[in-house]
Amino acid sequence: MTRTTRRRERVRKVIIVVPSLFTLTNLFFGIWSIVLASQGEFYLASWWIVIAGVLDMIDGLSARMSKTGTKFGGELDSLVDIVSFGVAPAVLIYFLMLSNSGPYAWVFCYAFVVCVALRLARYNVQSDQPHVAGFTGLPSPAAGMTLATYYPFTRTDFFQTQLADLPWPQIMILLMIALSLTMVSQIHYARVPRIGFRTWRGILGLGVNGTILGFAIWSRDIFFFPFGIAYFAYGFLRAVVGFLERGDDEEKDENEEEVVRPVIVTDIPRPDQRRKPGG
């Protein structure tokens, strides 16, 4: 093996390790969020979950761009996601508002974590199938970050003046249940648009991602939670509309079959074979 070949092998090994480093940093912020939530530092705990989500996106992007994705990396990513987007948001919501809601309020947190685990297990099983343009079920990072960014949203003037009087403990329990069920559902969610300069879709993706990034930087407290709710509702409403359209198409097909169904007449007797009246 020549010196150049050995150097290339070392560089490739380093590149393979990079996505896993992002994944482990994701886990670091997930654990840190849990510790801060237990100490009552809800604002920082919320944003460390968002940072974990950004790192989760970067590790997947780096693995695809370098073509160094491995089975080990995929399994590690799923295990880390259970902590960062399952346990950490559930613990945050529990300490924030469910710890005083009765001795069994933690069950909602447990159910959320279970659905995150089931969602990730199904994703791993389906990862060997051909790549599609969307997700089956709400992605766990989206569900986790939606719950996590509730507290920063409550610190905004808009929430304090317009929404503070709503029964938020009950609303958040219902939201946890809805997010949990949507993660393990068959509802399809679109991926983030790809960025490019050669096609109109790439340019549109650049505009969409740039807009999201702008709001995320300059208006993060008031942006993330409503954005997560909108993304969740988008998939749900899309599924409802698709179900209604399929119902209309099936009814139309049934009516068309009734109209165009041919009538086949067989075994018509010849005149000389017809029986005489009374015969």
Give the CA diameter of the chain.
108
For residue 278, being part of any structural domain is answered with no
What's the mean pLDDT in 257-278?
Answer: 50
Q: What pLDDT score was predicted for residue 190?
A: 81
CATH number of the domain where residue 72 is located: 1.20.120.1760
Mean per-residue pLDDT over the chain, rounded: 81
| 150 — pLDDT class (breaks 50, 70, 90) | very high
Confidence (pLDDT) at 267: 52
Residue 134 backbone dihedrals phi, psi, to 5 degrees? -155, -175
Tally the domains of the chain: 1
Tell me how far apart the alpha carbons of residues 130 and 126 are, in angstroms, rounded to a whole number. Answer: 9
What is residue 194's DSSP assignment? P
**Residues 86-100, mean pLDDT to the nearest whole number:** 94
Amino acid 16: pLDDT: 62
Q: Quick check: is 267 in a domain? A: no
Query: What one-character-per-residue DSSP string does 147-162 give?
Result: HHTHHHHHTSHHIIII
Measured CA to CA, the distance from residue 23 to residue 74 in angstroms comes to 10
Contact 58, 18 (CB under 8 A): no
For residue 162 the two structure tokens come to 């317009």
Lowest mean pLDDT among 62-66, 153-157, 159-163: 62-66
Most confident of 44-58, 183-197, 235-249: 44-58
Per-residue model confidence (pLDDT) at position 219: 86
**What is residue 225's predicted lDDT score, i.e. its pLDDT?**
95
Within 8 A by CB and 6+ apart from 142, the residues are 189, 228, 231, 232
Q: Would you say residue 131 lies in a domain? A: yes
Q: For position 139, what pLDDT does the model report?
A: 92
Tell me whether residue 268 is in a domain.
no
- Is position 222 within any domain? yes
Question: Has residue 42 been placed in a domain?
Answer: yes
Domain membership flag for residue 238 = yes
Contact 183, 143 (CB under 8 A): yes
> What is the band of 194 on the pLDDT scale with cuts at 50, 70, 90?
low
Q: What predicted TM-score, i.e. pTM, was given to this entire model?
A: 0.79
Full domain range(s) for residue 229? 3-250
E-assigned strands of 236-276?
none
In a domain, 53, yes or no: yes
